Chains A and B, each alone.
Chain A
Amino acid sequence: MKAMAVNLDFSIPEIFDPFFLELLHRRWTDSHLSLGVEIIDAQHLWIVGLLYKMEIMLNYKDPNVRLAKMTAYARELLNFLKKHLDLEHRVITAAEMPRGKQIIQEQLSFWERLQTAFKLNQEGGINSPEAFVELVKSWLERHIKEEDAYWKLHLSKRHFNPLDFVRAVVVDIEQEAESPHALLYRQLIIAQEVIPGIRKAVLDDLFFLWKRFDVCTKIPLIDMQHLWLFKMVVEVEGMLHISFDERRAHLEKVLGELIEYVGVHFVSEEGLMEKVGYATLRSHRKLHDDFRRTVYKLKDDYYSGNHHALSGLVSLLRQWLLTHIVIEDSKFARFCSGEIEKTVAASRQLIREKQIKIPRDQVLVYSYITARSRAEAS
């Protein structure tokens, strides 16, 4: 076997569950855990995230999955806490803090207790995840709000900028900046986004529409595209509330994208209908064609100088798409419901054959909305 070095540069760490990120953001802000020192806050956020996941997993029904996940989270938490405490100990030592040695000793003693709590059973799972979680929980808030606030205050009193001071003691600042916890912090706390580039208000409107009209087809490909259409409609509608001159260029651009995407969606939907042998494909396609013609007529009217055609076009898009999905596409969903796995496999084959594209943002929006729906239902 020929040896070959693995190129780790291709790996892109990715935080993958937007709805969990929303819950994590809420917990972080409600608990007032920000210290105001970015590197330390990013590490704290990671610890809080892992701990929160463990708390959620404590209620997981399947005991095998629960144990496997709890063990993996606990192992990561234990290792990460060690690195985190090492960094803080370097800060405390460099800052020549009064009681510094005592604080370090107390923290090491906590870590040793945690290591003891990470006791594995014969099957390789953690013995008492509940005790592990409780130990970290009881320590964490005091650590952030008292111990860390103490060294931050000490640095400020000595006229050091705490952020610069911490940066100076980090061994590899580039590695730290590219770490998953730093990426998470920048996205969630600095940019305040659970999905990059999509505002929370848009996600809320989208969730409201999704819930109100109950339009889930259970075919991920179709649901993703419907959600993306709704998202574009929500964005276009939001622009109608600002003055025409301000919105004109942006509205024309977004509306153009929406009309183009309607076409992409129709082609995808018809392709899937054909693949699974949907009996009323011909009449469904006719509805799509009629709608396309109406949209292009309104668009032409607008570009011929009739500015009122624009609001008519937005209203038509919203109303038609909602009605069409609720009534017509639901018929297709019912047709597929008996053989949903076969339909999903057919849709995945169309993606593999590059007849349909699935952009990342659509996956994230879909993941967010469906997770939020499940959380609300439970």
Chain B
Amino acid sequence: MSRDQINEKRRHIRVWVRFFPDCFVRLHEPDMRVALLEEFSLGGMRLLVDSNLPKEKLVLGKKIAGTIESENPALRMPFSGQVRWYKMLGDESVGAMHVGIEFDKDIELSEILQSLHTAEKRDGT
């Protein structure tokens, strides 16, 4: 699925955190592995994971859970949510994919995430 075909509405400002913060994501479900946090918002996050994650485990809407780990306690948090989209990073030879996750409503977001302001919709809706 291409990112241009994603059925999602941007309700929150996204923060691009790809390289500079010392954090990563440890997925517990559906598969134990390390992923990199590339971007997050109050509503969810985009991860970079290696392509060895079997595609049958990445069904859209599937439950996903893990922890954001960091030396910064204000970023650290457990999370749960759903896979909303995924996309290979280039062709198979690149060996990585982006995964978009929407957080469950009832999780307590870390202080850093909560310090983000909700984006104002430009169309007023």
Report which A residues bind B (CB closer than 8 A): 1-7, 9-17, 20-21, 49-50, 53, 62, 64-65, 68-69, 71-73, 75-76, 120, 123-125, 180, 218, 220-221, 224, 344-345, 347-349, 351-352, 358-360, 362-363, 366-367, 370-371, 374
Contact = CB atoms under 8 A, between A and B. Distances in A.
Given A10-B10, A14-B16, A68-B35, A125 B22 contact: no
Contacts of B31: none
Contacts of A16: 15, 17, 20-21
B71 A374 contact: yes
A348 B109 contact: yes
A124 B51 contact: yes
Nearest to B41: A10
A53 B22 CA distance: 10
Contact of B20 (A49, A65, A220, A221): A49
B13 A10 contact: yes
A119 B36 CA distance: 19
B26 to A, nearest CB: 8
Contacts, number: 131
Nearest to B22: A17
B124 interface: no
Contacts of B112: 363, 367
Contact of A65 (B15, B17, B34, B115): B34
B50 A68 contact: yes
Given A10-B12, A73-B19, A351-B111, 10 more contacts: A5-B4, A9-B122, A16-B15, A53-B19, A68-B24, A69-B36, A345-B108, A348-B108, A358-B111, A366-B74
B19 A76 contact: yes
Contacts of A15: 20
B114 A6 contact: no
Contacts of A73: 19
27 contacts: A10-B13, A10-B14, A10-B119, A16-B20, A17-B21, A53-B20, A62-B34, A64-B34, A65-B24, A68-B34, A68-B35, A72-B18, A75-B96, A76-B18, A124-B50, A124-B51, A125-B50, A220-B110, A224-B111, A345-B108, A348-B109, A349-B108, A358-B114, A360-B115, A362-B115, A370-B73, A371-B71
Contacts of B125: none
A11 B16 contact: yes
Contacts of B34: 62, 64-65, 68
B96 A348 contact: no
Contacts of A20: 20, 22
A17 B37 CA distance: 14
Interface string B75-102: 0010000000000000000111000000
B108 A14 contact: no
Given A3-B7, A72-B48, A374-B71, A14 B17 contact: yes
Given A68-B35, A72-B48, A352 B109 contact: yes
A22 B6 CA distance: 38
A17 B20 contact: yes
Interface in B1-57: 3-10, 12-22, 24, 33-36, 39, 48, 50-52
Contacts of A125: 50
A220 B6 contact: no
A225 to B, nearest CB: 11
A72 B36 contact: yes
* Most chain A CB inside 10 Å of its own CB: which residue of B16, B109, B119: B16
Contacts of A366: 74, 111
B76 to A, nearest CB: 9
Contacts of A72: 18-19, 36, 48, 96
Contacts of B36: 68-69, 72
A214 B12 CA distance: 37
Contacts of A220: 73-74, 110-111
B31 to A, nearest CB: 13
A26 to B, nearest CB: 15
Contacts of B110: 220, 348
A73 B48 CA distance: 12
